[in-house]
């Protein structure tokens, strides 16, 4: 029978000064959980790990294989052997959590963190009848909004893989935000609770997520925490929590992309932090290197049509007013100011001029007689 060697993390804080790895030869058959049970039954009963349902519903058995977070009962041994091409398979406990013993970690901390985000329904009496024999009506379409989030089985795989947890101890954890978001889009949940969740989410690191997508990758249940975090950020801004840099960054994206089809990296620091210096410093650095600096991005051909599409989607989603038209007009004016023409003319002329993107500004300036 084909076998593989597992190097398993061992640590009993009562006995061991430091953790060590112990090697076990296991059959390449079934899942990683089978291999661990094989060790426990046949080779070494002292190995500690958690497992219960053995069929990917209970969330007990997450751990790491060569640093990558996996659910043991969902990970075929064959796949591991193929992925790691003969490299030893190093089995570690989940990351970011205190080890109790061997592969068993303390999960109370992430649960406590989750609790701060009100991960339960706070019923709105106008929707949820107080009479226990009355039904609250929920249409099937409404449930689409949280159909993925409700799959979370608290396995903490995402917590282990998360880049924000890694560097921000206050960060609540990917799953916690998904849990919170699930109630944010439930009509039965009362508005005041929704408001609170956003506030707590912000102080719990909502803007610290780096959008690395690792939580999406490791989640065995198809929950998409990174996307829920994006959704929560949108809600935060919508609810008027606009003072955080992240909220200002979002505004920059929404307005500039609408106005020009591009963001403006030169203006980003200024619009997010009020940091004018950054632009000047960057401009200087580039100029010294002999790189031409663009005040505004090149407006995209077909921009006006693009704007129609953009606005149409936003209106359909009831979000047209999120666009700050005075800001957009300011950007338009900036563009016209530089090019001494209105934005439509600029776009047309620029593209008549040929397809090269290089040195557009100088060309335009010459063309339009700019400063």
What residues from 50 to 79 belong to the interface with ligand FES (CB under 6 A)?
51-54, 56-61, 71-73
**What does 158 interact with, of ligand FES, other proteins, ligand SF4, none (CB < 5 to 8 A by kind)?**
ligand SF4
Member of 4, 72, 237, 364 binding other proteins (CB under 8 A): 237
Q: Per rule CB under 6 A, is residue 39 in the interface with ligand SF4?
A: no
Smallest separation (angstroms) from other proteins to the CB of 49: 7
Q: Per rule CB under 6 A, is residue 104 in the interface with ligand FES?
A: no
Half-sphere exposure of 30 (CA within 13 A, CB side): 13
Smallest separation (angstroms) from other proteins to the CB of 54: 6
Q: What is residue 88's three-state secondary structure? A: coil
x/- map, 48-87, other proteins, by CB under 8 A: xxxxxxxx-xxxx----xxxx----xx-x------xxx-x
Smallest separation (angstroms) from ligand FES to the CB of 179: 18
Q: What is residue 63's three-state secondary structure? A: strand
Kindly report each contact of residues 309-313 with a partner whose C-beta sits within 8 Å and lies 24 or more positions away, as own/partner. 310/257, 310/258, 311/258
Smallest separation (angstroms) from ligand SF4 to the CB of 228: 9
Stretch that binds ligand SF4, among 204-212, 265-273, 342-350, 355-363 (CB under 6 A): 204-212
Kindly report each contact of residues 10-16 with a partner whose C-beta sits within 8 Å and lies 24 or more positions away, as own/partner. 10/47, 10/102, 11/99, 11/101, 11/102, 12/101, 12/102, 13/99, 13/100, 13/101
Q: Looking only at residues 21 through 40 of this chain, which bind ligand FES when binding is defined by CB under 6 A? A: 33
Identify which of 258, 263, 339 has the alpha carbon closest to the alpha carbon of residue 350: 339
Q: Per rule CB under 6 A, is residue 121 in the interface with ligand FES?
A: no
Identify which of 172, 119, 128, 171 has the alpha carbon closest to the alpha carbon of residue 150: 119
**What does 71 interact with, of ligand SF4, other proteins, ligand FES, none (CB < 5 to 8 A by kind)?**
ligand FES
Member of 47, 152, 331, 335 binding ligand SF4 (CB under 6 A): 152
x/- map, 162-201, ligand SF4, by CB under 6 A: xxx---------xx--x-----------------------
Q: Please give the sequence-ordered ranges of beta strands (E in DSSP) within the chain, or none if there are none.
A: 3-10, 20-27, 62-65, 68-71, 89-92, 99-101, 104-105
Provide φ and ψ at 243, rounded to 5°.
-85, -20
Q: Which residues contact 197 (CB under 8 A, 6 or more apart)?
A: 117, 118, 180, 183, 184
Straight-line distance from the first to the last Cα atom of the chain, in angstroms, rounded to the nearest whole number: 79
Q: Per rule CB under 6 A, is residue 60 in the interface with ligand SF4?
A: no
Identify which of 239, 246, 250 has the alpha carbon closest to the alpha carbon of residue 198: 239
Binding site for ligand FES (CB under 6 A): 33, 51-54, 56-61, 71-73
Binding site for ligand SF4 (CB under 6 A): 152-158, 161-164, 174-175, 178, 209-215, 218-219, 221, 223, 225-226, 229
């Amino acid at each position: 029978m084909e076998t593989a060697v597992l190097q398993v993390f061992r640590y009993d804080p009562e006995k061991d000064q430091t953790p060590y790895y112990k090697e076990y030869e296991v059959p390449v058959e079934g899942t990683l959980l089978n291999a661990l049970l094989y060790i426990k039954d046949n080779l070494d009963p002292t190995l500690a790990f958690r497992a219960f349902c053995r069929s990917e519903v209970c969330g007990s058995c997450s751990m790491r294989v060569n640093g990558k977070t996996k659910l043991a009962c969902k990970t075929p041994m064959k796949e591991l052997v193929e992925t790691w091409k003969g490299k030893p398979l190093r089995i570690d406990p989940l990351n970011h959590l205190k080890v109790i013993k061997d592969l068993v970690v303390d999960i109370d901390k992430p649960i406590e963190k989750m609790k701060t985000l009100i991960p339960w329904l706070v019923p709105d009496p106008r929707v949820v009848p107080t009479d226990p024999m009355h039904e609250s009506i929920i249409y099937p379409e409404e449930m689409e909004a949280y159909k993925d989030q409700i799959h979370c089985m608290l396995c903490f795989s995402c917590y282990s893989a998360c880049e924000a947890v890694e560097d921000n101890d206050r960060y609540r954890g990917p799953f916690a935000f998904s849990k919170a978001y699930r109630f944010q889009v439930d009509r039965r949940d009362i508005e005041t609770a929704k408001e609170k969740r956003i506030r707590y989410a912000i102080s719990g690191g909502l803007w610290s997520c780096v959008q690395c997508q690792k939580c999406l990758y490791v989640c065995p249940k198809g929950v998409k925490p990174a996307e829920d975090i994006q959704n929560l950020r949108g809600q935060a801004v919508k609810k008027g929590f606009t003072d955080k840099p992240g909220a200002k960054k979002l505004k920059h994206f929404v307005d500039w992309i609408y106005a020009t089809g591009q963001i403006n990296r030169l203006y980003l620091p200024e619009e997010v932090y009020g940091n004018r210096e950054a632009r000047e410093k960057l401009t200087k650095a580039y100029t010294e290197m002999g790189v031409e600096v663009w005040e505004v991005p090149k407006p995209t051909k077909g921009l006006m049509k693009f704007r129609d599409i953009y606005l149409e989607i936003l209106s359909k989603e009831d979000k047209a007013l999120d666009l700050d038209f005075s800001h957009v007009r300011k950007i338009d004016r900036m563009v016209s100011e530089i090019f001494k023409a209105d934005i439509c003319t600029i776009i047309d002329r620029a593209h008549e001029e040929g397809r090269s993107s290089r040195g557009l500004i100088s060309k335009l300036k010459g063309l339009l007689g700019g400063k």
